[in-house]
Structure 1
């Protein structure tokens, strides 16, 4: 007879680990089943060929000084975090940076345009149609984006940098719901050693409280049973519990939600899963023997704008870099205490999709050659290490994180609330960044949702004891 756990948590990412920790501290028996051979989920820290560990998934605790609960968890487990310092931002479209006056104007105008769009979303009567994209407000002739800027294409290209944090092109993002979230923002911080090590410390301590973790256990069926819930895995494992918390990423749920659960999920839940959008954001990291790029000791980020007209199909990988907007972070600048000669491209949806047909080696070579060309240095040392993420095609992620609500009838931030509602009378719960309306797409969303479900499940289990 297999053991009957109080709770089985599916997934050893942020939300699952937080939920397991809280439940075990409350005296409940918990088993975590993780499909990967490591913990962390979309928190992945990379070290091969790097000067220091580099996070390829979640990278920062946003709103560190503004209430993000990850800060308290870091303090609890003795994880040192460093608050990011502001450094000089540069905008490049050719072989020399735009003048500081132009950079300041682009930043100010984009901020004003976004504020104007959000004011329109909140106060317009009638409100914007759910089919109206954010791009329509940002790029309208009256938009503050173009105030005192003669080169409108320059302003549009700079605005495309928003597609990195949004995870979606501006033509898909919903104007009606832009800025709806009340999320943690302001200061950013990064854990020393990376997020994966941070989570490993939590898991190690949680094991002392009785949490069991089984890696390489991909769940293939979640069944409602007389005891509560039965879990079947691809390795023919069978586990039973009174409750289950599912933290499977939304991208994966989009592919298996119809067949994973028995009885099947309600139609409304399935429709919400299908209609909520998973974003595209990839990272290319290049580590060098020395920092050769201009102003390396003081500048980051470098916003690279297109120098070529975008083609329907790029002839080579370097053309993709020339034809799109990229944010390039430089770790040689004093953003964090330990500087090192490494750069990181944030690759938004359009260029990420265009680069998928090239190998990681080809993309890394193209990224390096693009920087040498853009910075007009003549020659530069080749990277000593590189890595390119593939979150969109990773079968255990199938995307980066959820995006804000996209255009479409019936879509709204309430979709995230729906995704987090328990089913089966409370024995089946859901957590993860995609289940938190205010903090979706962030570490905070995962942490908040994990704590939320742990509290709810603890009450449910206590009620079972009373009956």
Structure 2
């Protein structure tokens, strides 16, 4: 199959859909090529047999003061969400619910201030791990910290792992300085982000193309094609045409031609250098060195989710979030109090995988449990995890997963593990094993330079003939809402505006 299009969009995630909406609304013909057998990209809602909608991808409206998808959802009045920022608590294996009179939170707030004062303006090459930076804080303030604060505050800060999906041994102290710069509250979408928010965008695109429903648009319109794995993007300098080669679900190679290209491919996939890797895209001519170098200076994280459905609720129903903080980092404590050496090792961007033959101890990790009974009325609880636990969980059967979480759920419920019944159902993410995702979203590892990556990829005029006919969009390519669905949406809006200027200029 070969047909000439004005714009080819790679990927049917929310940035790909938003790109198509804005192009179509401005009369620019386009087509979306999607590798998977479904739409949504990293927005993916599973619907259980009893109607529960569980998001394996995005779950929240972040930055509620400025989030355009929240505003559109309010106008539609068909998205159900819940502000899950009510009662919460920190839990530890030894003490259970950590008493408020330990005064841990003020110390955590002070650590954030310490990070901003000392790390925010560092060059990436001078960066340190979050763990090492916290130790520097402890050395500075140990004379005015209690034993409990020294023991627990670092483990609470370690919970930043659950914002990113990377362990604090790899997290960038420099980039963590911005973690409290959110523009408003967060609202948990329990109608399914992929099933409601994304579907609203897809319906908008469908209607612009004359379809009455998203189902009709995807199955009949031929403006969004599934099972089209892009493996090569080539440019003919004589015809000024871009040729996108794909393999369809029958193993047959097809070619599509266009004047312009929008890539919503995750940067983790664009980083692939072996053309034989599934999902890898070969560029001919190759991508510029500046762009490849920028890609080499970012990482992708692995925030994981696990959902547990039970017959009955056994946890405190009035608490919305249970932060399970791990066992004390005794190396840090001994280094601080007994002047013992602390080994931070060489700077590393990625965690070493866990031994698959050894069951992880859940009490060694930060795990955030979400009381989804509060919004669904069902005996459902969710868990957020980070590497290296995410990789273990996503690579093992559910039978090996429950024993990791069971003692922690017993701890927050004041029960013995043997008193807990097994869940009716366990559902978990698989992003680390998905060849078209290779992680959850943009990471923040030591030495990463996402600012440079954003600059280079939003000004990528040196690709092909230097006309700016290739644009990149996605959650990693925005300085507001990065890592979020609305950030991906914004990136598409920005890049299409630039592309429209180029297209209109070429018509003069």
TM > 0.5: yes
Residue in structure 1 matched with residue 216 of structure 2 by the alignment: none
Residue in structure 1 matched with residue 259 of structure 2 by the alignment: 242
Q: 1:6 to 1:149 in 2, by over 3 A?
A: farther
The range that moved more, 152-161 or 215-224, is: 152-161
TM normalised by structure 1 equals: 0.88
3-state SS of paired residue (1:136):
helix
The alignment status of 1:391 with 2:428, answered yes or no, reads no
> Following superposition of structure 1 onto structure 2, how do residues 398-409 of structure 1 map, counting pairs within 5 Å?
398-404=438-444, 406-408=445-447
1:363 and 1:7 map into 2 onto residues whose CA distance is 44
Residue in structure 2 matched with residue 322 of structure 1 by the alignment: 363
> Following superposition of structure 1 onto structure 2, how do residues 27-426 of structure 1 map, counting pairs within 5 Å?
27-49=27-49, 52-64=52-64, 66-75=65-74, 77-94=76-93, 97-102=96-101, 105-122=103-120, 130-140=126-136, 141-142=138-139, 148-151=145-148, 152-180=150-178, 184-197=182-195, 198-210=197-209, 212-225=223-236, 226-235=239-248, 236-256=253-273, 260-293=282-315, 295=316, 297-307=317-327, 313=355, 316-317=358-359, 319-333=360-374, 336=375, 338-355=376-393, 358-368=396-406, 370-372=408-410, 375-378=413-416, 379-404=419-444, 406-408=445-447, 411=449, 413-422=451-460, 423-424=463-464, 425-426=467-468
The range that moved more, 347-356 or 28-37, is: 347-356
1:160 and 1:17 map into 2 onto residues whose CA distance is 36
Q: 1:123 to 1:420 in 2, by over 3 A?
A: closer
3-state SS of paired residue (1:46):
strand
1:229 and 1:96 map into 2 onto residues whose CA distance is 62
3-state SS of paired residue (1:433):
coil
Q: 1:427 to 1:357 in 2, by over 3 A?
A: closer
* Contact 2:84 2:320 survives alignment (8 Å): no
1:249, distance to aligned residue in structure 2 (A) = 0.6
1:95 and 1:116 map into 2 onto residues whose CA distance is 28
Residue in structure 1 matched with residue 340 of structure 2 by the alignment: none
Alignment deviations for residues 102-141 of structure 1 (CA, whole Å, 9 cap, x no partner):
57x22222122112211223468xx796232233322222
Aligned residue pairs total: 454
* Contact 2:165 2:386 survives alignment (8 Å): yes
Residue in structure 2 matched with residue 443 of structure 1 by the alignment: 485
1:75, distance to aligned residue in structure 2 (A) = 4.0
3-state SS of paired residue (2:174):
coil
* Contact 2:84 2:188 survives alignment (8 Å): no
3-state SS of paired residue (1:158):
helix
3-state SS of paired residue (2:71):
helix
* Contact 2:105 2:153 survives alignment (8 Å): no
Alignment deviations for residues 49-77 of structure 1 (CA, whole Å, 9 cap, x no partner):
5652011111111011x111222332455
1:23, distance to aligned residue in structure 2 (A) = 0.9
The range that moved more, 378-387 or 303-312, is: 303-312
Pairing partner for 2:505 from 460, 463, 467? 463
2:143 and 2:85 map into 1 onto residues whose CA distance is 26
1:367 and 1:304 map into 2 onto residues whose CA distance is 10
- Structure 1, unpaired ranges of 5+: none
1:465, distance to aligned residue in structure 2 (A) = 1.5
Alignment deviations for residues 179-209 of structure 1 (CA, whole Å, 9 cap, x no partner):
3589643211244521212222322331232
* Contact 1:8 1:33 survives alignment (8 Å): yes
TM normalised by structure 2 equals: 0.81
Q: 1:349 to 1:144 in 2, by over 3 A?
A: farther
